[in-house]
Structure 1
Amino acid sequence: MTSDTRIVGIDVARGLAVLGMFGAHIGVIMPFDWLEPDTWSDVVSGRSSILFATLAGVSIAIMSGRTTVVSGVDLSRVRLRLAVRAFLVFVIGGLLIALGTNVAVILPVYAMLFAMALPFLRMPPLALFGSALVIAVAVPLFLATVGPLLGDPPNEGIALASDLFLNGSYPALLWIAFVLVGLGIGRLDLAARSVQGGLLILGAMLATLGYSVGEFAAATLGASSIATTEPHSGSPFEVVGSLGFALAVLGICLYASRVIHRPLFPLAAVGSMALTVYTVHIVVIAMIGASVPGEDDNSLWIIFVVVALAAASLWKIFIGKGPLEWLLAVASRSATRPPRADRLDPATPQQRNPES
């Protein structure tokens, strides 16, 4: 399998993450209760974006060689391509924020996470998982202790940096843990059923541990920024629980895509052009008004999902790569393309076979 070959299960999982973020942005969601099916849609809150970030790490692993990391000049080119992609995603995110919706746009932080992952590309999976564990435990404690002491930022630049790395809905200093886990997972043989089953089992265990212990801590110690499992709280319990959820979903999607490939095509189509679909849905929210959600039911969410599945499927069939994905691919390839003189045959620098 070459590095350009798509793993359908990853696209399916990414499609679920994007559609889940639709729900978090425009859905009518009530606090989760196992005994109330009407509240089960709360599963998308926080967890969809964490799944999205974890899959970013998997994508980085695929771009940098999958199970065998590229080295030398090839590694430098991969890093440059990732840096170019991060810059463009950051710009797109800034433009979406400028639309003035009530959505906490993830793309600027997503771009920062790509850039922050660059030094970790050659790290082995176990070291990546260990680093993520340390971050998951230490950073929430750091943010809870130091965050309140920082006060109001003295200027807009520091305010932006603080929002991106410390105090926003997706603090990059903490969320890099999800990317590192995804990067480690991407170094594994994702086609192996043992890996797929392991992701499901380990994910279920982590989700159970994180959420159950978190609920116990909140009930015993009183809810706080640390003792809670609330979405976007950034507590160690939410990090572990939501990461476990992401791993379980990925394991299921990798296995399901082998068993029921065709029915999952619309989801995979959305996932293969996630940046485009995400961007379009923010633009549409801006067009219909920043007051959403505000309906009494989830009909708007359903409409967004159906349109996204249909439009992405048709685009995939008749055109192929999503427009923003095409832009990122062309820009990153252009940035790393060697000068024309370097591409000539060294034996005959002035002559080339016109049929080659």
Structure 2
Amino acid sequence: MNAIDGAGKNHPIEMDRAPKKPSKRLVGIDAARGLALVGMMATHLLPAWNEDTGEATLSWILFSGNAAALFAMLAGVGLALSTGGRNPHQGKRLTADRAGIAVRAVLITFVGLWIGTLMSEEPPAYNILIYYGMFFLLAIPFLRLGPKALFVLAGAFGLLAPLLMQNLLDVLPEWSSYNPTLGTVLSEPGGTLSQLLLTGSYPALPYMTYLLAGMAIGRLDLRRIKTQITLLAAGVGVAVLAHVTSYILLYGLGGYQRLLDSSRVSEEKLVEILTWGPDSLPTSTPWWLAITTPHADTPLSLAASLGVSMAALGAFLLIARKAGDWLLPLTAMGVMTLTLYTAHLVALSFEIHYDRPYLWYLIHLVVAAVFALVWYLNLGKGPLERAIGYGVTGARRIVMGGSSGRTDFGA
């Protein structure tokens, strides 16, 4: 139940340009994006718990919440790199960037809405693409900012969006479909908007924490080994601090008992919620904001997944310095994540994978890796990335007066 932008013009989802000069690309970013896709496939296909022990499986522990966070953070890195990197575009080029990103958002949203028509009422996966469109639109006002301002804004969204979500949850209009279609948007505009912003599977306002942090990271010098080590160390530190803080609040300062008293559920049920997460963030007490359960979208759960994402990116950037060629399968998948993720969801919509999840996970993984390698080595960017790239380039040319005005900063 999870899901996808990456560096340069790629995005877990937006990858829209060919790898023209491999030496210019930060292949560690592509590889990290490939890992996010692998993790998303795992959360969609593999069991979340061990049937014998009832405990969470390793794939759930590693990827639930973290894969989607990594995708969103890398989307921010991609936005930053494609809009000037360390020197944000200004003037007409910035206007062209904004036009291109708006077009990208619309096109990705329509792909997501089409996928919604293929899914059942109880879908095998929750589609992140429609949320990506909202991510991009919300990011447009922040494109000219530097890393410090972006990090501050990421923190602000991480603190304020969960508060807003918890306080408005009981008054916002309800939505009817996990995977909205165009018909859903037209018949339930208010419910769909609240779903995309605050109440859905990947609500855009809390997820701006990942996107803006990624944009801040993309404004740094990611080729410096000092930056890469700092990302790794800071990511580990943020993740550990988030979990330690949650533990102290819940079990040292009485939060667990407050949750038990306010929720009016059994202790067994509360433990289940703290392991697997609530259907939506409960509103009975602010103490729910102290949990770090995947997809809870509390300040601490956002911080924990952001820390993991930063550490993963830092690790891949460091590995790629000496062993970039060994990352080629992940790199190839990371360069065309929109294509592969879309194909993955279409395959899931047939719902023939439930009886043999490990076999189907292997099939999805192998097919994605082989296709990505063959296509990438021969043609570069993926088919959907190419199609969306035409629309983005067209929008930029209109603004620039005939020239796309785009600089290939590499990934």
Instruction: Please say whether Structure 1 and Structure 2 have the same fold, judged by a TM-score greater than 0.5.
Output: yes
Alignment correspondent of 1:347:
none
Alignment correspondent of 1:350:
none
Shift of the 272–117 alpha-carbon distance from structure 1 to 2, 3 Å rule, reads same
Alignment correspondent of 2:214:
182
More divergent stretch after superposition (140-149 vs 240-249): 140-149
- 3-state DSSP class of the match of 2:169? helix
Are 1:80 and 2:114 counterparts? no
Alpha-carbon distance between aligned partners in 2 of 1:288 and 1:342, rounded to the nearest angstrom: 46
The match for 2:308 among 238, 245, 254 is 245
Alpha-carbon distance between aligned partners in 2 of 1:337 and 1:217, rounded to the nearest angstrom: 53
What letter matches 2:189 in structure 1?
A: G
Shift of the 318–178 alpha-carbon distance from structure 1 to 2, 3 Å rule, reads same
Are 1:316 and 2:335 counterparts? no
Q: After TM superposition, give the deviation of residue 139 of structure 1 in Å.
A: 1.4
Alignment deviations for residues 67-97 of structure 1 (CA, whole Å, 9 cap, x no partner): 1111111111111111111110000011111
Alpha-carbon distance between aligned partners in 2 of 1:38 and 1:25, rounded to the nearest angstrom: 13
Q: After TM superposition, give the deviation of residue 40 of structure 1 in Å.
A: 5.1
Alpha-carbon distance between aligned partners in 1 of 2:30 and 2:138, rounded to the nearest angstrom: 23
Alignment correspondent of 2:154:
132
Shift of the 71–339 alpha-carbon distance from structure 1 to 2, 3 Å rule, reads closer
Answer whether contact 1:202 1:244 (CA < 8 A) is retained.
yes
Answer whether contact 1:28 1:293 (CA < 8 A) is retained.
no
What letter matches 1:50 in structure 2?
A: A
More divergent stretch after superposition (95-104 vs 181-190): 95-104
Alpha-carbon distance between aligned partners in 1 of 2:293 and 2:74, rounded to the nearest angstrom: 22
Q: After TM superposition, give the deviation of residue 293 of structure 1 in Å.
A: 4.4
- 3-state DSSP class of the match of 1:189? coil
What letter matches 1:63 in structure 2?
A: S
- 3-state DSSP class of the match of 2:101? helix
Alignment deviations for residues 250-273 of structure 1 (CA, whole Å, 9 cap, x no partner): 000111112111111010000000
Alignment correspondent of 2:255:
221
Q: After TM superposition, give the deviation of residue 246 of structure 1 in Å.
A: 0.3
What letter matches 1:135 in structure 2?
A: F
Are 1:27 and 2:77 counterparts? no
Answer whether contact 1:228 1:237 (CA < 8 A) is retained.
yes
What letter matches 2:140 in structure 1?
A: L
Q: After TM superposition, give the deviation of residue 302 of structure 1 in Å.
A: 2.3
- 3-state DSSP class of the match of 2:171? helix
Alignment deviations for residues 147-167 of structure 1 (CA, whole Å, 9 cap, x no partner): 123354796111101110010
Shift of the 97–217 alpha-carbon distance from structure 1 to 2, 3 Å rule, reads farther
Alignment correspondent of 1:286:
349
Alignment deviations for residues 190-224 of structure 1 (CA, whole Å, 9 cap, x no partner): 00000000000000000001122223333331256
The match for 1:102 among 105, 111, 124 is 124
Alignment correspondent of 1:354:
none
Alignment correspondent of 1:236:
299
The match for 1:53 among 67, 72, 96 is 72
Alpha-carbon distance between aligned partners in 1 of 2:74 and 2:381, rounded to the nearest angstrom: 18
The match for 1:259 among 316, 322, 329 is 322
Q: Gaps (5+ residues) in structure 2?
A: 1-7, 10-19, 177-186, 260-281, 283-287, 404-411
Q: After TM superposition, give the deviation of residue 102 of structure 1 in Å.
A: 2.7
Alpha-carbon distance between aligned partners in 1 of 2:222 and 2:298, rounded to the nearest angstrom: 29
What letter matches 2:146 in structure 1?
A: P
Alignment correspondent of 1:65:
84
Alpha-carbon distance between aligned partners in 2 of 1:316 and 1:78, rounded to the nearest angstrom: 25
Q: After TM superposition, give the deviation of residue 280 of structure 1 in Å.
A: 0.4
Q: After TM superposition, give the deviation of residue 288 of structure 1 in Å.
A: 3.9
Alignment deviations for residues 55-78 of structure 1 (CA, whole Å, 9 cap, x no partner): 000000011011111111111111
Shift of the 293–176 alpha-carbon distance from structure 1 to 2, 3 Å rule, reads farther
Alpha-carbon distance between aligned partners in 2 of 1:303 and 1:310, rounded to the nearest angstrom: 11
Are 1:200 and 2:232 counterparts? yes
Q: Gaps (5+ residues) in structure 1?
A: 344-356
Report matched runs for 1:300-311 at 5 Å: 300-311=360-371
Alpha-carbon distance between aligned partners in 1 of 2:171 and 2:323, rounded to the nearest angstrom: 52
